[in-house]
A and B are shown apart, each in its own frame.
Chain A
């Protein structure tokens, strides 16, 4: 018996070894991304990949990882273990890879696609004047509203002033409806609320300066914004369960009609648009009209594909990355999992209404600030996130928040 088990094991190990040497006929590229089963971008990848395989006569072996674990995984993978093409966030995140020359410069391939891809969309992944990543879609923080619930308390439109929003929330609470849902399990979800509030208090120019490390966090207006956010939490505007729920559950709760509002990335547009119910997209209202305007948004072209510098055929991988970027953008836009970074050369009449609304907001935007955790490099971004996490649980107040960040980041 023991010998049999040993034999079987030996056979299994041998098989797995030999399979590693099996060769494929077509050139094969590997791809890592975060388009897991539950991710809004999944359908776009599922359509784009076969299309690109067909067009370029290649085979793409792809694997999807969960968002949070992907961040650590991609950073802890040594250069020669990286797949040929991988999803990355632009800004400082991809900047680390570019600085270490772990990703391949795409300047040779870019001119072939420049007609469809405005150069401004590459600005978040351009380092030292060189382009290092292919943008997919762009996204902004969007305030989604369940109009059926708003109607119950007498609102036909999403409030556009802060006073009106508070009055609406009070009415909702009085009617036994929870105004907002926010996941406390993933800190980036909290930033989706906090960053627009800060932006609408201090204005986008100042906020960009702070994220870039050129202005101090020690700004009483930020403390005021944090206190505003916390006053909304303590007044019971947020579902307390959210503290230990993950984002997918919170989103499912919103779609199921448990919350009146859900503020998160515009990549949710398609899913919310298709759900049963009457939903609208809006922006967070202005808190300080001297510094900010309604049209200022948080976001930008943030999702991108990079090519590993250690790829066996980086030029082919670069070609595939651009082709994939274009197709993922195309299908993502139509599915409503993002706004186009590439100029559409296809029929856009089928774009979902909610997506079209957000696209309009972007087109008319009066200022843009990149998501904080992408604008800053790894260490400051995570220090920032660790304090944002404490804000949601009301463990520190506004004054504590700015003091701590000023202390540690400047």
Chain B
């Protein structure tokens, strides 16, 4: 079947809409001017400024630390949740794991803030951010792991037991190796979500700790400097590579074949 030129044009427009703003950020991060107004010439100056900005480096370090810890814990808990949802085939459980994924971030942010302060009596800081990030990541990991399990033949696990494997050995030698790609993909996803998160972090960070997105926000309150463009470009690169990596481990999940 021949597709008309209109379909191509429409597709082009959609992708331009999606990627043009991102492209402009990237391009201006190499612009040899203080302003994002006109192209002057190519420079790596703003990246140089960036790596000497101590406050920025501290924020980046915080972000990476939070992302690693929250992704690790969320992967552990999310994998277990995904397995439980699959095993017991509970619609409600599945729905409840998915809800935080779809919940407006601001709602989650406010409720976590109230929960930490009023129920846990927690001082806001690194711990509260990590806990918040774990909370919203678990659902994503669970969904990816569950999708992987749903695509597999349950008789594999029965076969393992039938051939003499205890429940633990079945997990160790059959289930885990088979869901590992989904676990890794889920972990990468959780890492990406944590690194990029602004809204929930904003509510749960308190005053002491700054993350990269929070730092960027506080900078653009004054002006969008090319340094912001540079850090955004790097963040974009990191996110993109994570998504590419995740899609390699669990192609079925990210191609929407769940």
The answer to whether A binds B is no
Query: Residues of B at under 8 Å CB distance from A?
Result: none
Q: Give A contacts to B, CB under 8 Å.
A: none
